[in-house]
Amino acid sequence: QVQLVESGGGLVQAGGSLRLSCAASGRTFSSYAMGWFRQAPGKEREFVAAIWWIGVRTNYADSVKGRFTISKDNAKSTVYLQMNSLKAEDTAVYYCAVRVGSLDYATLPRNLHEYDYWGQGTQVTVSS
């Protein structure tokens, strides 16, 4: 019962920045974690970043650490992904996802199978 809508994708020059937004609606109070994934042409969907809905811990893929920042606005039920120093290899469809079930351990989920609901994705294209 959670709906997710991504926005903010588009074309950007290498070295530039974009800020993606993911607006959630429905049973947002039941959210445990929010994550960002991406899928480039011919590749598997991969983990990018995650954040606890209640809490401050975050986690990032090595490929984006130091360049991307995940954040949230609980009052607006929105999660953001600030992407700086973009590279051509960042080109992909970016998806947000939410985990609503409890976890056995306090570990931010990285596996796509650990998430319950997904947005439709937003295209990010970085020109070199």
Q: What digits encode the pLDDT tens for the residues 76-125?
A: 999 999 999 999 999 999 999 999 988 777 789 999 999 999 999 999 99
pLDDT at 28 over 80: no
**Percentage of the chain surpassing pLDDT 90?**
82
CA separation for the pair 85, 51 (Å, rounded): 21
pLDDT at 29 over 80: no
Residue 36's nearest CA partner among 96, 98, 80, 120 is 96
Q: What is the pLDDT of residue 39?
A: 98
CA separation for the pair 3, 22 (Å, rounded): 10
Is the Cβ–Cβ distance between 107 and 58 less than 8 Å?
A: no
- What value does the mean pLDDT take over residues 31-57? 94
CA separation for the pair 122, 128 (Å, rounded): 20
Q: What is the pLDDT of residue 56?
A: 83
pLDDT confidence band for 16 (50 / 70 / 90) = very high
